[in-house]
Amino acid sequence: MDDVTTDLLIIGAGPTGLFAAYYAGFRGMNVAVVDSLPELGGQITAMYPEKAILDVAGFPSVKGRDLVEGLVAQAATAHPTYLLDRTATTLEHGEDEVVVTLDDGTRVTAGAVLITSGIGKFSPRPLPAGEGWVGRGMEFFVPSFAPYAGKDVVVVGGGDSAFDWAQHLEPIAASVTLVHRRDAFRAHEGTVAAVQASSVEIITNAQVTELRGEAHLEEVEVTVDGQEPQVRKAQALVAALGFIADLGAIQQWGLETQKRHVVVDSAMRTNLRRVFAAGDITDYPGKVRLIAVGFGEAATAVNNAAVVLDPSAHVFPGHSSEG
């Protein structure tokens, strides 16, 4: 691959990275975006494109797929160079530049780097009883609801993903059962209340202990603490047990981190010269991990990077509204 020279290199093509690409163009920068996934949109595209997102300003409710589509169209105004299905491996500082090497050997020379890689590379936590069942009725993500129409579905987990998927599948599935190993949930209270008020059966203090079927899933064994196992008919199981995050090679760059997050100041600067971070990967006192927060951090990072690239520039860009 040809090497790339740009003003700003963004590492991560999720919502925060895409908005940062747009905003970099708005500030007159050339921009390149690298992501380890083959498609734009980060976790939203990979895991929940059909999920309704409720905390983005201006959208009472927006599907993940539609949000990404709008962000991609917005970023296109900056004419970014996309380097997808590639991972940033090393970072070196020059006198007035940063050089990032990708896993395919491409060298990207940039005036500044903005890390927006969310939780980094992620892999789902396994369901102990589910070994060998992926693709035979068990999945970790629900990229499309249509395949679940008319099926008996078991969702395992007690977090936001488990309750979101249970809520969205309930109108189209023949039945939905949610199984959680505790009687307390980590999901948003409003979503929990909505699922509790629906036809979804919630079984707590329980675990899925066996999956049964020939070529495809037919039954699920659920064991409630202190009781005999019960068997439920199921043609689909969603194991929403969370993810194991890995920042990968970024951890070797000398960044100050706190529990797998990159520490930044109020300008989104990291401890490394010319390196900024924004979105879920960042940490600072009072940090709230929402897409909406990531958008604001992206703008803050890009505006402060503009001054690094051109000391005569101003952090405040002026208002972006027309007229």
Tens of pLDDT along 180-189?
999 999 998 9
The residue segments making up the domain with residue 84 are: 4-122+244-309
Does pLDDT of 41 surpass 70? yes
Give the pairing of strands 81-84 and 62-63: unpaired
Q: Does residue 24 form part of some domain?
A: yes
142 pLDDT tier (thresholds 50, 70, 90): confident
Does pLDDT of 28 surpass 60? yes
Which residues make up each annotated binding site for FAD?
A: 16, 35, 43, 48, 88, 122, 280, 321
Higher confidence at residue 174 or residue 316? 174
Both 30 and 115 in one domain: the answer is yes
Which residues make up each annotated binding site?
A: 16, 35, 43, 48, 88, 122, 280, 321
Which of 193, 221, 241 is where one domain is finished? 241
E strand spans, 119-205? 121-124, 138-139, 152-156, 175-179, 201-203
pLDDT of residue 319: 73
Task: Report pTM.
Answer: 0.78
Does pLDDT of 37 surpass 90? no
Both 31 and 117 in one domain: the answer is yes
Both 151 and 100 in one domain: the answer is no
323 pLDDT tier (thresholds 50, 70, 90): low
Mean local confidence (pLDDT), 165-169:
94
Q: Does residue 316 form part of some domain?
A: no
Does pLDDT of 88 surpass 70? yes
235 pLDDT tier (thresholds 50, 70, 90): very high
Q: Does residue 131 form part of some domain?
A: yes
Q: Does residue 320 form part of some domain?
A: no
Q: Does residue 207 form part of some domain?
A: yes
Q: Does residue 210 form part of some domain?
A: yes
Both 231 and 255 in one domain: the answer is no
Nearest alpha-carbon partner for 271 in 255, 252, 294: 255
Structural domain count of the chain: 2
Question: Is the Cβ–Cβ distance between 24 and 7 less than 8 Å?
Answer: yes
Which of 241, 260, 285 is where one domain is finished? 241
Question: Is the Cβ–Cβ distance between 110 and 32 less than 8 Å?
Answer: yes
CATH number at residue 174: 3.50.50.60
Condensed to tens digits (0 to 9), the pLDDT of residues 119-141 reads: 777 678 999 999 999 999 999 98
Distance between terminal CA atoms of the chain? 43
Q: Does residue 155 form part of some domain?
A: yes
pLDDT of residue 237: 98
pLDDT of residue 48: 74
